[in-house]
Amino acid sequence: MSKRIHVLINGEQFGPYPEAEFRRHVADRKVLKSDLVWREGLSEWIAASDLLAILEGAQTRNFFPTPQALFEQTKAAAVEGVAEKQFLLGLMHDKGEGAPLNHVEAVRLFRQAAAQGHAPAQFQLSLMLAAGHGVLKNDDESLLCLRQAAEAGHPEGQYTLGFRLANAQGAPRDDEEAVSWFLKAAAQEHAVAQCSLGFMFEHGRGRAKDDAEAHRWYRKAAERGDAVAQNNLGLMLAQGQGVAKNEAEAARWFRKAAEQGVAGAQTNYGLLLAKGQGVPQDYIEAFQWFSLAASRGHANGIKNRDLLAAELSKEQLAEGQQRAARFVARREA
């Protein structure tokens, strides 16, 4: 039985994570205790807090029927017309986890649940229609299902509808409506929607340009763990845009985003290290972060890595390369 843990945040699946990484994400509030989680053997998605209690041995009832029993239980309830079980069985077929991989069957089950007003099923169906995944691609029907999910209060549906409207993906561009949907999702603590609001206010799209408001939304998303927001917040702090200039705090946010693999943040953090702005000057550490950004094809990372390499001794260069290699190894472990 797999011990890896799947996480459902605002309708989007993340993971699966090993138990230790799952616990770190909970501790860092990247995963809230109210977020839904699942691993093989669970009869249904449960709150992260409940799974933590199980892992700590605080609950003794049997959460772990056999995979075959779980499949049969879910299938029986789906046949009876229980929308939630139709949705869950659709997810199982779509991922090939706990049920045979069958995208067409997943679509059929999502349709059944969506017809009963099940918002997560409406959202999943919209994704499959947009991608032509298990069904013929249909942008119009996808948008209709997405609107149904968003109007039902599904936060990921609200964010995704806003994203499509802002980027003219399967719908005419409408920045003003996009901001309205981002606001609805953000009110439900959807971090990516909060980051998107920061972008829209920063660039004056859908609302008047407002750097202070952009900073407010970037900070909300950054504190929820959104790496893009952390980098953007760092930029505003480093430049004094919409907020008092604070290079030390900028460095802290750049590092958080850099550690999540954001190449731009790796370069930005490296620049502060190289210049000794907000952090003690450290050329070797700067070279590490430039190298990591360069390995992801980031143009400024490549440029700054090569410029700094010319100034380092062979020993310093080797140390910087070793630090970068250790960072990659830790992330891939």
pLDDT computed for residue 65 by the predictor: 60
CATH code given to domain 1-64: 3.30.1490.40
| Sequence-ordered list of residues with C-beta below 8 angstroms from that of 211, at least 6 positions apart, any chain | 201, 202, 236, 241, 242, 243
Task: Give the confidence band of 59 by pLDDT, cuts at 50, 70, 90.
Answer: very low
Does the predicted model carry a pTM greater than 0.95?
Answer: no
Residue range 151-170: mean pLDDT, rounded: 96
**pLDDT: is 72 or 228 the higher one?**
228
Which pLDDT belongs to residue 64?
Answer: 54
The whole-angstrom separation of Cα 94 and Cα 42 is: 17
pLDDT, tens digit, 9 for 90 and up, residues 296-328: 999 999 999 999 999 999 999 999 999 999 999
Q: What is residue 16's three-state secondary structure?
A: strand
Please report, for the chain, the start and end positions of each structural domain, with discontinuous segments joined by +.
Answer: 1-64, 79-149
Give percent of the chain with pLDDT exceeding 90.
69
| Tens digit of each residue's pLDDT (9 = 90 or more) over 215-258 | 999 999 999 889 999 999 999 999 999 999 999 999 999 999 99
What's the pLDDT at 208? 98
Task: Specify the pLDDT at position 289.
Answer: 98
Under the banding of pLDDT at 50, 70 and 90, the label for residue 60 is: very low
DSSP string, 50-116: HHHHHHTT---S-----HHHHHHHHHHHHHTT-HHHHHHHHHHHHHTSSS---HHHHHHHHHHHHHT
3-state secondary structure of 29: coil
CATH of 79-149, one of 3.40.50.1820, 1.25.40.10, 3.40.50.300, 3.40.50.720: 1.25.40.10
